[in-house]
Amino acid sequence: MMTEVKDKKWYVVRAISGQENKIKTYIEGEIKRLKIDSFVEDIIVPTQKVIQIRNGKKVSKEKVYFPGYIMIKANLTGEIPHIIRSFPNILGFLGETKGGDPIPLRSNEVSRMLGKVDELSMEGENIAIPFTVGESIKVIDGPFNGFNGNIEKVNEEKRKLEVMVKIFGRKTPLELSYMQVEKI
């Protein structure tokens, strides 16, 4: 039985992109199974919440912020780095030299990355802009429901579109929210 270790630092593990959360769950399970959880304090997959609009509905999705990277706070002594490297879909530690020891993140890098994680979770809704200028749309809500038009401007801050619609044969500009239109 290994004794409790106090000196833990943050490391970045390179992993197969797109598998980060599965790998995190697997590592957590293996660490408990191998009884080395006193050496590994925390495992984080930095993600951000992205809102996409599909068929006029808001769809919330977690998106990995640093694809292919998992942050681990651990004391990498003895066999611990070798055990972590041997897990499936792990490519190694970021910044390590061949045969060398894993290099911990500097405290300013850690606070920047963790600060970014906190900022992203606080930020909450970050809508992926699904529209581009010149695109044809159909109005699906409001007094101009059923009209077709072309996007003239996209205002990301206000989440509004300026759309040119033909009303009684004349082109008329309308300001509509993302939720009031759909792509044709």
Residues 6+ apart with CB under 8 A from 128: 50, 51, 52, 53
Domain ranges (residues) in the chain: 9-123, 136-183
- pLDDT for 125: 52
Does residue 84 contact residue 27 with C-beta atoms inside 8 Å? yes
Residue in the block written with tokens 């041997």: 86
- pLDDT for 2: 46
- pLDDT for 61: 79
Write down the CATH number for the domain with range 136-183: 2.30.30.30
Does residue 74 contact residue 41 with C-beta atoms inside 8 Å? yes
Say which CATH class 9-123 falls into.
alpha beta
- pLDDT for 119: 62
Q: How many CB atoms lie within 10 A of CB 122?
A: 7
- pLDDT for 120: 57
- pLDDT for 93: 92
Per-residue pLDDT of the chain (184 residues), as tens digits, is 444 446 799 999 999 988 999 999 999 999 999 999 899 999 999 887 777 777 777 777 788 888 999 999 999 888 889 899 999 999 999 887 776 788 888 888 887 777 766 665 555 555 566 788 999 999 998 888 999 999 999 988 788 899 999 988 899 999 998 888 888 8
